Amino acid sequence: MNKNLLVVLAFLAIAYAGCKDNALPTPLPSPPDSYLPETVGSSWKYRDSIYGEPTDTVPIVGVRIDTVTYTMNGATTNFNNYICYNVDVVSKLKGHSTAYFHVDKHVNSLMESTPPYGLTNLQLLIDTGSVGHTWTFTPTTNRVLNNNPVKAISTIVETNINKMVNGLTYPNVIHTTINLQINVNGAGFHNVASYDFYLAKGFGLIEKDVKFYGLLNETKTLLNYNVK
């Protein structure tokens, strides 16, 4: 397996330490125009394909078609003063787990565990940004991975578009891209993975596509939802 690919997989295995459940009271309802609703009881059901679609081209994990449901449970977790809203995750193939939404100062982030990889923390969107807006953040607490610098770059690609997902057309969609970059052995930063997210105002995340070295490996699409 490619050495840099092993580095990517190692990155995905990093978990954020020092968490404390129920650090805050039940979260207040998010506004109706939120791109990442956190209201208690809201739920989303997705079809998750890893190397299962005709367009998927990198068999990193192997063929898997899953159904995954996310439900806001009203609890919060404190990751070293990084307060997240807890999301119950039920996977048909992998069972139960917890994901985390973080919304603060217009920055919308997703922290999610994908066994056997662990937690990733990705800033999906700055919802006041315009097309072309780019920002850099670190997906790890110490800005390094295996003693090599790591960073992620988010870009707003499209705004206010209509997008059809599983037969439904969603309005007011924002499309963002995140490039994961690693500087291995001082050779300079280069892209190893990219994530495309489509978020619809009032609905949340409707599609996620993951590529490794430019080749599609995963597509997750919204089947139905119940936003409170």
Tell me the per-residue pLDDT of 126-178, one tens digit each, with 9 for 90 and over: 999 999 999 999 876 667 666 778 889 999 999 999 999 999 999 999 999 99
Q: What is the pLDDT of residue 81?
A: 81
Q: What is the pLDDT of residue 119?
A: 66
Identify the burial level of 198 via C-beta atoms within 10 angstroms of its C-beta, where 0-12 means exposed, 13-18 middle and 19 or more buried. Answer: buried
Dist CA 109 CA 216 (whole Å): 22
185 backbone φψ class: left, alpha, beta (φ>0; ψ -120 to 50): left
**To the nearest whole number, what is the mean pLDDT of the chain?**
84
Q: What is the pLDDT of residue 150?
A: 82
Please state which of the ranges 44-53, 82-91, 144-153, 208-217 shows the lowest mean pLDDT: 144-153
- Give 23's contacts (C-beta < 8 A, 6+ positions apart): 76, 77, 78, 83
206 band by pLDDT with thresholds 50, 70 and 90: very high
- Token digits for 188? 């300079």
Q: What is the pLDDT of residue 183?
A: 86
Dist CA 158 CA 164 (whole Å): 15
The 8-class DSSP code of residue 60 comes to S
Alpha carbon of 24 to those of 30, 71, 88, 214: distances in Å?
A: 15, 18, 17, 40
Would you call 184 helix, strand, or coil by DSSP?
Answer: helix
